[in-house]
Structure 1
Amino acid sequence: MPGSALERGRGEHILIAEDDPGAGRVLRLLLEQTGYRVTLAADGETALRILDEQGAPDLLLLDWMLPGVSGLEICHSARSRWDALRLPILMVTAKTDPESVYAAFDAGASDYVGKPFRGAELRARIGAHLRTRRLWEERERMEGHLRERDKLFTLGLLAGGVAHDLNNPLAVISAHAQVLKRRLPEGEAREQVDGILGSVDRCTRIVAELLNFARRHPAERGPVDVAMVVRETLGMRERQISTSGIDLRVEVDDGLSPIHADGHQLQQVFLNVIVNAEHALAQGGRTLRVRTVRVEEPVPSVVVEFWNDGPPIPPDVLPHIFDPLFTTKQEEGTGLGLFICRRIVREHGGWLDVRSDAEGTAFAVRLPMGGI
């Protein structure tokens, strides 16, 4: 049907502009059998509309002789918006004279296939251009990772400098506030000083996180009893958990073999995850379950799981919770806690994963048992 577009298949997306119904069916069948996702436009105007509405496909296959807007005009228009690495363009046409070939490449075509074409040749040419495009995408991802790494390195230097500069004035404020508090009688003024001290404590915690983010030092590792570290960490939060009305369920296997790790770093990871669970339970739910289990695949490991039945993490937030400086705790969070936790676990050769749904949220710390 003139002016229509049909899309089928899966995989990489190829947009075909072909006005001959028979040729269009052959092209679509040929490419869908290879696993590509195909959109077929019956004329040039439809092809341009699809490009405007959907953006660039993975490859554009153009017949030169289209009614209304020609394939050459589409090629000119597409190339003005996307370069040859982002969008390979193949011209398929019976116009095989040298002048037409020159005109196609001058318009920005990546390749040129004459009619009648051989299916194997067309698939090979398309495959070659898509491989080049995939390499370009991989290069873009690698450059993005390098840019992010440079940004984090610079951020670490800045964070370390700022944190060190803040420690001295915070200590002075805290000391003066404590002296003032001792001189004041019970009442509103003393409560205001308590507010100052509370804010100083919060700033001190933030400074500590910034310093930890900036500091990259080798872990001091040795045999670590994971069950003991879990119990000691829970002991640090026992009062807060109890006064918050949280139902704590501990299912820790004390017979687990020691692992080679830095116990202090693991305690930092466990403590951060537990505090996050407390914050979630403050918004709803009441149960925090901490359990350990040994797993054998893909390598023998200890898994420590922290599950709570608080509100689930929103789907748009979940992919970003380990990103540096990402936080939903506007008044308290620095956005570094979970980022540092994942870094510590990875440096131990393990994984830190999360799943969250209507039944609750679970953080799983998987630590390999080898190395002792």
Structure 2
Amino acid sequence: MSDAERLAGAGAHLLLAEDDPSAARVLRMILEHSGYRVTVAPDGETALRILDEQGPPDLLLLDWMLPGISGLEVCHSARQRWDALRLPILMVTARTDPESIYAAFDAGASDYVGKPFRGAELRARIESHLRTQRLWAERQEMEEHLAERDKIFTLGLLAGGVAHDLNNPLAVISGHAQVLQRRVQDPQTAEHLAEILAAVDRCAHIVADMLNFARRHPAERIPVDVAQVLHATLGMRTRKLATGGVDLQVDVADDLPIISGDGHQLQQVFLNILVNAEQAVGERGTVRVTARAVPASADDRDVVVEFWNDGPRIPPELLPRIFDPLFTTKAGEEGTGLGLFICRRIVREHGGTVEARSNAEGTTFTVCIPAHPPAPPARS
């Protein structure tokens, strides 16, 4: 959940430091009635411990006169760690003389509410600070999104240029290696030349990935039989899977609807995910591919294709990043980090979604494509 979503409307988490049980009970009742989640600390030491263990709440309410460590000290300590946009601090106290108010703001308080207070005033002040915090969080997310767009755009330009520049020398290397391979008599030299050609082929695949990454064009819109595309894709890998000891299980429903899209691009998506599954299970394991139609509305259905494998779990901290450009979980030089990014882009251009989930039982990639003609995709 993003910061903006967390702060939207009621449900924000407030930490209340108040040593008077009656006052704490009343304040908690007022705040929870307004929809906030409230944690109560009976003294300054407890408030600091909660901040250390749980991190900053959405807003901190402090009574000045706390036993042991005062609310003013808690305010000063908290403000040294988090600024006013990340953690608004409201002093709620009977000390309303000018010197006390000055001292509170000097310690880093965001606002000051005198006792006795009116519930409506307190709620209004809290919501005002949370609104400011929410706008700040939204701005942060927008700036991060724009920075990501700029990075991807620049990366696309570089990828396209590098890919085109690499094609010519790769062609020269491949051509000379093939000529030498036909002439050579020494088996060891022939083996070395085969390794060179294999490396060139791998480089060519990387170049193709880079060009696909750099290419920005909408998918064609023609009738596509997803079942046919899927069976053709599986046919390309069936022999490889069987010889590698992988158990391929296929269950494609007979009633898949025709979609509007680009069959070649969808085949690229299916093939990429399937190869990832092969690499995940290694020399022995199970890959299961299923396809079905699910209702999307009264008149439309979605085509859902799932690829499951029983290979190692993708770590939870890495799972949200697997569709990022240049990110890969593969060891060594096995992956370019562009395949899944391209898959997501293609599926989105078809108006669909691609998601991944992973646990101890295995990893599943789910591709969902609407059967009805989707609207032109928004540029991201």
TM-score (norm 2): 0.87
Match of residue 326 from structure 1: 327
* Paired AA for residue 279 in structure 2: H
Measure, in 1, the Cα distance between the counterparts of 2:226 and 2:186.
45
Partners in 1 of 2:363 and 2:152 — Cα distance?
28
1:301 equivalent in structure 2: 302
Does the Cα contact within 8 Å between 2:245 and 2:284 map onto a contact in 1? Answer: no
Q: How does 1:27-38 map to 2 (within 5 A)?
A: 27-38=27-38
Contact 2:177 2:197 in 1 (8 A): yes
Match of 2:195 in 1: 195
Kept in 2: contact 1:59–1:130 (CA 8 A): yes
Same amino acid, percent of matched pairs: 72
Who is 2:171 aligned against?
A: 171
| Residues 1:359 and 2:340 are matched in the alignment | no
Question: 3-state DSSP class of the match of 1:181?
Answer: helix
Corresponding position of 1:75 = 75
Aligned to 1:220: 220
Which deviates more, 258-267 or 115-124?
Answer: 115-124
What residue in structure 2 maps to residue 291 of structure 1? 290
How far apart, in 2, do the equivalents of 1:294 and 1:53 lie? 47
Instruction: State the match for 2:162 in structure 1.
Output: 162
Give yes or no for contact 2:257–2:293 (8 Å, CA) kept in 1. Answer: no
Separation in 1, partners of 2:233, 2:124: 59
The correspondence of residues 171-320 of structure 1 with structure 2, limited to 5 A, is 171-282=171-282, 284-285=284-285, 287-297=286-296, 299-320=300-321
Aligned residue type for 1:338 = L
Q: Tell me the amino acid that sits aligned with residue 259 of structure 1.
A: I
- Do 1:202 and 1:332's aligned partners in 2 also have CA atoms closer than 8 Å? no
Deviation by residue 1:207-230 (Cα, 9 ceiling, x = unmatched): 110111111122222111111111
Quote the Cα distance in structure 2 between the aligned partners of 1:22 and 1:137: 35
**1:335 alignment partner in structure 2:** 337
CA distance in 2, matches of 1:246, 1:98: 77
Question: How far apart in 2 are the matches of 1:334 and 1:195?
Answer: 20
Q: How big is the alpha-carbon RMSD for the aligned residues of Structure 1 and Structure 2?
A: 2.3
CA distance in 1: counterparts of 2:292 and 2:187, whole angstroms: 51
Alpha-carbon distance between aligned partners in 2 of 1:222 and 1:122, rounded to the nearest angstrom? 60
* CA distance in structure 2 between the partners assigned to 1:109 and 1:284 by the alignment: 62
Match of 1:7 in 2: none
**1:259 & 1:336 partners in 2: Cα distance?**
26
Q: Distance in 2 between matches of 1:155 and 1:43?
A: 53
**Normalized against structure 1, the TM-score is what?**
0.89
* Secondary structure, counterpart of 1:314 in structure 2: coil
| Distance of aligned partners of 1:77 and 1:355 in 2 relative to their CA distance in 1, 3 Å threshold | closer
Work out whether residues 311 and 360 of structure 1, in 8 Å CA contact, stay in contact via their aligned partners in 2: yes
Superposition deviation, residue 123 in structure 1: 2.6
Residue ranges of structure 2 left out of the alignment (5+ in a row): 1-9, 375-380
- How far 1:328 sits from its partner (Å)? 1.7
The separation in 1 between residues aligned to 2:197 and 2:342, in whole angstroms, is 27
Check conservation: 1:209, 1:337, Cα contact below 8 A: yes
Deviation digits for residues 220-250 of structure 1, max 9, x if unmatched? Answer: 2211111111111112223312211223233
Give me the whole-angstrom Cα distance separating, in 1, the residues matched to 2:94 and 2:255. 76
Matches within 5 A, 1:143-154: 143-154=143-154
Quick one: distance in 1 between partners of 2:335 and 2:14?
Answer: 45
SS in 2 for 1:362: strand
The answer to whether the Cα contact below 8 Å between 1:170 and 1:204 also exists between their aligned partners in 2 is yes
Give 1:144 deviation, angstroms.
1.0
Q: What letter corresponds to residue 57 of structure 1 in structure 2?
A: P
Q: For residues 52-109 of structure 1, what are the alpha-carbon distances to aligned partners after superposition, in whole Å with 9 as ceiling and x for unaligned?
A: 4543221111112234443333333333432221111111111223443344334332
1:371 matched to 2:370? The reply is no
**Bigger shift: 18-27 or 142-151?**
18-27
> Judging changes above 3 Å, is the alpha-carbon distance between structure 1 residues 31 and 366 closer, same or farther for their aligned structure 2 residues?
same
Q: Does 1:85 align with 2:85?
A: yes
Of stretches 172-181 and 93-102 in structure 1, the one that deviates more from structure 2 is 93-102
Partners of 1:320 and 1:218 lie apart in 2 by 24
